């Protein structure tokens, strides 16, 4: 058994597909995970996503100890959408409303951007976390403004980094990807299964 420190239904679904036995270890009411997601000045997007993931993992370890739960490995992940313009990285988080979602989609439209997903696992309390970062490229088609507005009207972009969900209707906007589809969803299956093996956590191909 292991703990998953993530509220993402997509990450939970992927672990269920792998037939991993896990229990959610979610933030307590007084915790504010968004405070951990503030980017530092001059911080690269890869450094950012790894730092945020490790901070969330540390918070999860403290949460488990606070709740006096039995120890088991803890898995945590974070996904960042990055658009590079004029040599500068723009980290696109979750839009606060429909207007911001449309603005993000207009930035991504007819462009290539990168999705970084960092995953980390704390196997025991007294050793450093194991982690890996997957970077995949996503190419948006040249979509009409009306198509982007129609997508925003579905409300799917809200709560999604970069204002789209590749596993949903957002795939209608995307011409191609280079990399891992599951990583863009939020949990790269290949890298996750490798970390599960290191932790001795059974899954469908490695019971």
Q: Among 93, 184, 77, which Cα is nearest to 140's?
A: 184
Q: What one-character DSSP code corresponds to residue 27?
A: P
CA distance 160 to 10: 11
Task: Convert 133-171 to b/e letters by CB count within 10 Å (16 or more is b).
Answer: bbbbebebeebeeeebeebbeeebbbebbbbbbbbeebe
Selected catalytic residue, list 47, 78, 110, 126: 78
Q: What are phi and psi of 129, to 5 degrees?
A: -65, 145
Does residue 78 carry a catalytic annotation? yes
Q: What one-character DSSP code corresponds to residue 171?
A: G
Other C-beta atoms lying within 10 Å of the C-beta of residue 39: 17
Catalytic residue numbers, as ranges: 78
């Amino acid at each position: 058994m292991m703990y998953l420190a993530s509220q993402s239904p997509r990450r939970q679904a992927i672990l269920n597909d792998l037939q991993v036995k896990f229990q959610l270890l979610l933030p307590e009411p007084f915790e504010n995970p968004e405070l951990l997601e503030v980017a530092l000045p001059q911080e690269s997007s890869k450094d950012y996503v790894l730092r945020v993931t490790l901070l969330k993992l540390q918070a999860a370890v403290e949460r488990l100890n606070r709740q006096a739960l039995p120890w088991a490995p803890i898995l945590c992940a974070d996904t960042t959408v990055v658009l590079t313009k004029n040599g500068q990285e723009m980290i696109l988080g979750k839009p606060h409303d429909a207007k911001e979602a449309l603005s993000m989609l207009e930035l991504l439209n007819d462009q290539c951007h990168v999705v970084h997903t960092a995953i980390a696992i704390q196997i025991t309390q007294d050793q450093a976390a194991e982690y890996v970062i997957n970077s995949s490229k996503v190419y948006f088609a040249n979509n009409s403004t009306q198509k982007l507005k129609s997508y925003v009207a579905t409300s799917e972009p809200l709560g999604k980094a970069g204002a789209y969900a590749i596993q949903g209707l957002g795939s209608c906007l995307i011409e191609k990807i280079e990399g891992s589809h599951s990583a863009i969803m939020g949990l790269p299956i290949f890298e996750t299964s490798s970390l599960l093996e290191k932790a001795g956590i059974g899954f469908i191909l490695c019971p």
